[in-house]
Chains A and B, each alone.
Chain A
Amino acid sequence: MSTEGEQGGRDEEDRVLVAEFALGLLDAAEHERVGRRIAAEPLLARELTLWRLRLSSLDREFAETPAPAGVLDRVEARLFPPSAATAAPAGFWNSLRFWRGLAAAGLAVAVIAVGVDLVPRPPLTGPELVAALEAQGSDVKLIAFYDKTAGTIRIAALSGDAVPNKDFELWAIEGKNAPVSMGVIALNAKANVNMPATVKQGFGAGTVLAVSLEPKGGSPTGAPTGPIVAAGAATAI
């Protein structure tokens, strides 16, 4: 280190500069200038690595302090902004407690597949709305056809078996609204389901139909309590 001559002096200067850079002692302009040199000069980069490695043993002296609540939420909101196509279903699925029931049942609804058709669309002129209802991990599959004239939804199960002491309940979900029950359905027969006025009013492309597994007679609470075994969005054809 006590090298004589100009070169030794320069090396020494550089070493000090890099040390000051590592410690954060340089002002903004100087910090940037040295940073650029370090990026361009492998020798300085190695010097910086040495300082950082050695200084990092001081890291244990930073005392842990619980972070304020809400920081992670804000970080996630910035990093993962909901896209237009998935905003509505994401809000919906996240907001409902039966999502937990779904996860607990080991099922995974294909939310993305469901969400694809939820982009707002111009009002439909025709009545042709259909939905395919299914979910990963579940063998219950149904198709639903909206009969605007009759004000009913005709459903037919393609697969799935009745579960002892349980019923399947059909729900309509519009946007971020809470699911509205359309009653208990049987899987072994085609059915015409009468639509509650509130459902009829808002029904359109993007309305999600879902089937949950409920206690005999249907959900006792008016909201889904069991796992979703099939879901799908109404699509214009």
Chain B
Amino acid sequence: MPQSTADIADLIARTALRDRAAFRDLYQRTSAKLFGVTLRILRDRAEAEEALQEVYVKIWQRADRYAAGGYSPISWLVAVARNHALDVLRARRPVAEDIDVAMEIADLSPDPEEAAVGAGERARIDACLGELEGDKAEAVRGAYLDGFSYDELAARHNVPLNTMRTWLRRSLLKLRECLSA
């Protein structure tokens, strides 16, 4: 991003204080990025435009929830846009009944190895994705960046749905292990 992180964080903070000029400025500086997000995930200009509108309404309404802990301000904005676009996708997808993800989990023990996450470690994902096989890293990226569902990923990689699901879930565990190593 060409913008300085501090500037964007400042604009979000002022937006939380109901500063309309700051909100306008925030829009001018970040709307191209967020439109890039909604357009890539929704793959339809009109839908992406409508989503962008909703996204900035949410940003105005939720600016006070941005806390500078870990998330970079632009990542927070991207997350709002990405999550909204994914909500739109989910709403128009049929429920995938052949995927049994229902699990009953009786209790959860505390996880002592779970350490606080430092923002500086973020770049590690590149290395960790690099450790996955090419196809699998691509699938993770496709899910994150394009909002692909298991169905779409299976079609793109020419594998049965359940195979894709097993693949990706294993890859996610591997990735998780690498990321917290």
Residues in A lying within 8 Å of B, measured CB to CB:
1, 7, 10-17, 19-20, 23-31, 41, 43-44, 46-47, 49-68, 71-72, 74-76, 78-80
Contacts and interface: CB of A to CB of B under 8 A. Distances in A.
A11 B173 contact: no
B32 A64 contact: yes
Interface string B46-58: 0001001100110
Nearest to B20: A80
A51 B122 CA distance: 10
B120 to A, nearest CB: 10
A1 B173 contact: yes
Given A41-B108, A58-B125, A24 B173 contact: no
A80 B23 CA distance: 12
B114 A47 contact: yes
Interface in B99-144: 99, 101-103, 105-106, 108-111, 114, 117, 119, 121-126, 128, 140-141, 143-144
Contacts of A55: 125, 144
A1 B40 contact: no
A58 B179 CA distance: 14
Interface string B71-101: 1101100110011001001110101100101
A8 B20 CA distance: 50
A178 to B, nearest CB: 26
Contacts of A53: 70-71, 117, 119, 121-122
A54 B109 CA distance: 24
A62 B173 contact: no
Contacts of B82: 24
Interface of B: 1, 20, 24, 27-28, 31-37, 39-40, 45, 49, 52-53, 56-57, 60, 70-72, 74-75, 78-79, 82-83, 86, 89-91, 93, 95-96, 99, 101-103, 105-106, 108-111, 114, 117, 119, 121-126, 128, 140-141, 143-145, 147, 149-150, 168-169, 172-173, 175-177, 179-180
29 contacts: A7-B109, A10-B108, A11-B108, A14-B108, A15-B176, A16-B169, A17-B101, A23-B140, A23-B143, A23-B172, A24-B90, A24-B147, A27-B96, A28-B95, A46-B117, A49-B70, A50-B114, A50-B179, A55-B144, A56-B72, A56-B78, A57-B122, A62-B33, A62-B40, A64-B32, A64-B33, A67-B49, A75-B53, A75-B60
Interface centre among B24, B35, B37, B72 (most CB of A within 10 A): B35
Contact of B35 (A24, A28, A65): A65
Nearest to A2: B177
Contacts of B83: 24
A52 B52 contact: no
A12 B174 CA distance: 11
B43 to A, nearest CB: 12
Given A54-B179, A57-B122, A13 B57 contact: no
Nearest to A72: B27
Given A49-B117, A57-B122, A75 B57 contact: yes
B37 A28 contact: no
Contact of B125 (A54, A66, A71, A72): A54
A79 B27 CA distance: 14
Interface centre among B95, B96, B101, B145 (most CB of A within 10 A): B101
Given A23-B143, A50-B179, A74 B53 contact: yes
Contacts of A50: 114, 117, 179-180
Nearest to A24: B86
A28 B91 contact: yes
B90 A28 contact: yes
